[in-house]
Chains A and B, each alone.
Chain A
Amino acid sequence: MSALLQLRNIHKAFAEVRVLDDVSLRLGAGELVSLLGPSGCGKSTLLRIAAGLDREYQGVLQLDPQLERGRGNGIGVVFQEPRLMPWLSVAQNVGFADGWIAEDKWIQQLLRDVGLQGRGNALPKQLSGGQAQRVAIARALYGKPQVLLLDEPFSAVDAFTRMKLQDLVADLAARYEIAVLLVTHDLDEAFYLSDRVLILGGTPSRLQRELAVPLARPRDRRSPQLAQLRSEGLTELYQSHAL
């Protein structure tokens, strides 16, 4: 299977402090991969490099040529905060990539997908945190991306909203056949959502281990296999002195 997005031997330093040391990863079509690690381990930095927002690194970022053909660069990004333009309506935020010429039908479809039908004319200030993040997800999907990069997208919402949003993303990624790279510090989230979990840790950070999650979907959050994998992940984090 050819990788849609590949990071090879990434090294990154902030002012002489090395953050990432020789990190490599690949994301195949339709795959859901989590990058798990404690805060400050450079996992967000790695995602920013993959998104093309950080160009000062050593190593190779390789995108599948078919990604480049899509609108934008075929990659959607959702940040930790919604980052909506406060002066634009919800619908205008979703269609931000195209501005005036945004496709209204597609916007309405996406708003239905994220459960915000009829709220297109609302302003961001009228939304709750969870709703705003739904708009951000719709905006990331607007360009019909094949890769979705998520930077701790559920960490700022309450536990119930988080579970709903996790299911929403898993559902939409499957429906639109999007590969997802998810950065998170939440063990439950990583194992519940992913096909593979990459554990990042140490100073400077390296990939400590890769755990496959060979469970069928839809998954049950209460399943014993999930709990088993989760404790393996936790053990790994302890061993790598990440915690």
Chain B
Amino acid sequence: MKALSLAIARGLPAWRPRLNDLRGWVVPLLLLALLETLVRTGVLPSHQMPAPSQVAQTLYLLAQSGELWRHLSASLLRVGAGFVIGAALAIVIGTWVGLSRRAEAYLEPTFQALRAIPSLAWVPLLLLWLGIDETPKIVLIALGAFFPVYLALLAGIRNIDRKLVEVGQLYGLPPLTLVRRILLPAALPSLFTGLRGALSLSWMFLVAAELIAATRGLGYLLSDGRETSRPDLVIAAILLLALLGKLSDSLLKTWENRALRWRDSYQGGEGGA
């Protein structure tokens, strides 16, 4: 307790924040240097664990041949479409179930049961029904994105302070206006938590879908690398997935911070308490 208040009272010198931003790079850079040394000195066999420099070269060659963009755009389109469709459906249905006890009574048990099915179990069925082109992949990603958003929004709506809803009733707001002006804004923090969970799941399901049947995309790059015994290709694809996942999450987080500027919640303190 004392340490915490000290940390708050002391304040931080002006140059600290900029240095703080760089702290996250220390561990990965050290690991990369260590790995490069181990591979170059022959401690690790390079046909199994390529040196970081070799992975960088593979990425460069992919980019130069235009292959990289082909795979990236395919994956981005799939994730984008699947995520948007799944999240939009979840927002509509989540709001409806959140508002109406009757809708909840009819729909909740079904959704609970559907949720219990590991989403990857749908893959064979989707392939049988929808073939092997884009549709089953997007449906699978949408399926993965649906549940986090639906659950978070439902919980968010049910946690709204009844006192705020009462203000809406006082002004005689019709149901849809009540949703737009009070319920959705109040549930926005939960909704964003759900959206961010859904986005990371979307990337996961993208890989699953592309590993199984694809001729383009990062998942295809992964399986191609395995089939042609090229670990550098696999690692390059993994790096790209990490980069895209982080980038898309940062975008969503920026949007979240902007939309939730009004929130009055604890943001964490500097140093340990």
Contact = CB atoms under 8 A, between A and B. Distances in A.
B262 A72 contact: no
Contact of B264 (A51, A73, A86): A86
A97 interface: yes
A17 interface: no
A125 B164 CA distance: 15
A73 B262 contact: no
A188 interface: no
B182 A85 contact: yes
A77 B181 CA distance: 19
Contacts of B188: 87
A73 B262 CA distance: 30
B171 A96 contact: yes
Interface in B223-273: 261-264
Interface string A66-107: 000000110001010101011110000000110100000000
Interface residues of B, number: 17
B163 A81 contact: yes
Classify chain A: how many residues form its interface, as a range.
10 to 19
Contact of B185 (A79, A87, A123, A125): A87
A124 interface: yes
A90 to B, nearest CB: 11
Contacts of A79: 163
A97 B170 CA distance: 9
A124 B262 contact: yes
B171 A72 contact: yes
B151 to A, nearest CB: 22
B73 interface: no
**Most interface-central of A51, A52, A72, A96 (chain B CB within 10 A):** A96
B28 to A, nearest CB: 37
A51 B172 CA distance: 11
Interface string B177-188: 000011001101
Contact of B164 (A51, A52, A72, A83): A83
A218 to B, nearest CB: 31
27 contacts: A52-B170, A53-B169, A53-B170, A72-B170, A72-B172, A73-B172, A79-B163, A81-B163, A83-B163, A83-B164, A83-B166, A83-B167, A85-B164, A85-B167, A85-B182, A85-B185, A85-B186, A86-B264, A88-B262, A96-B167, A96-B171, A99-B181, A123-B261, A123-B262, A124-B262, A124-B264, A125-B264
Interface of A: 51-53, 72-73, 77, 79, 81, 83, 85-88, 96-97, 99, 123-125
